[in-house]
Amino acid sequence: MIDCKDVTKRFTLHNQGGAVIEVLSGATLQVAPGECVALTGASGAGKSTLMRMIHGNYLAEAGRIAVGGVQVSGADPRTVLRLRRDTLGYVSQFLRVVPRVPALDVVAEPLLAVGWAPDAARDRAAALLTRLNVPAALWDLGPSTFSGGEQQRVNIARGFAHDYPALLLDEPTASLDATNRGVVLALIEEAKARGAAILGIFHDVEARAAVCDREVDVGAFRPVAA
């Protein structure tokens, strides 16, 4: 479902004398439906960079990236947007939302985008926010003033609202208490059970051990000269 082959990435810092940072070379991995794979490796090894390339935010220099048979590398923006709407969910570390949009609508939005009726989308959003212990008093407020953990739970609810066939998770349990961490791990298990292919970064070793089937060390794709 998620397929990376010989992916290379370097950053050229044009505003810093053209300095070049070689991050990845020959990065190859596959994630099958129903599988959760952990990306591991030292800080700065390129875990987030690889996730962002799969999500179509960063361009790969070389190699191929496909999700659900759709080529991400070299895809036009409309193809990437369609892939993100229908197929590939992404729970980033931090919630990025339009100011003043109520939390309930933030969570329901991916469902409306795939054609759910507004009431059904809001019901599902409410169920997820309830499950993730976000108080109902907050649902009609914009999340920008929420605590870090509350924002993360809104972000997770949004990421799990639509049953994406593939999911990218960047530190989904960071800054959560034990109860909510347990809820997130259960959501991941349920997504696996319905056949989602999941690629995640988990610094939380216990969480990783609980839900991941195997690990891919991004350090193995370090460019030789780096």
Ligand X SMILES: Nc1ncnc2c1ncn2[C@@H]1O[C@H](COP(=O)(O)OP(=O)(O)OP(=O)(O)O)[C@@H](O)[C@H]1O
- Contact residues for ligand X (CB under 6 A)? 11, 13, 21, 23, 41, 43-49
| Token code pair at residue 197 | 């292919």
* Nearer CB in complex with ligand X: 48/128: 48
184/180 Cα distance (integer angstroms) = 6
Q: How far is the CB of 56 from ligand X (least distance, A)?
A: 14
212/188 Cα distance (integer angstroms) = 9
* Nearer CB in complex with ligand X: 15/145: 15
Q: How far is the CB of 13 from ligand X (least distance, A)?
A: 6
Coil, strand, or helix at residue 23?
strand
Q: How far is the CB of 42 from ligand X (least distance, A)?
A: 7
* Nearer CB in complex with ligand X: 41/165: 41
- Sequence-distant (≥ 6) Cβ neighbours of residue 4 within 8 angstroms: 27, 28, 29, 30, 50, 53, 54, 63, 64, 65
* Nearer CB in complex with ligand X: 59/209: 59
Q: How far is the CB of 206 from ligand X (least distance, A)?
A: 18
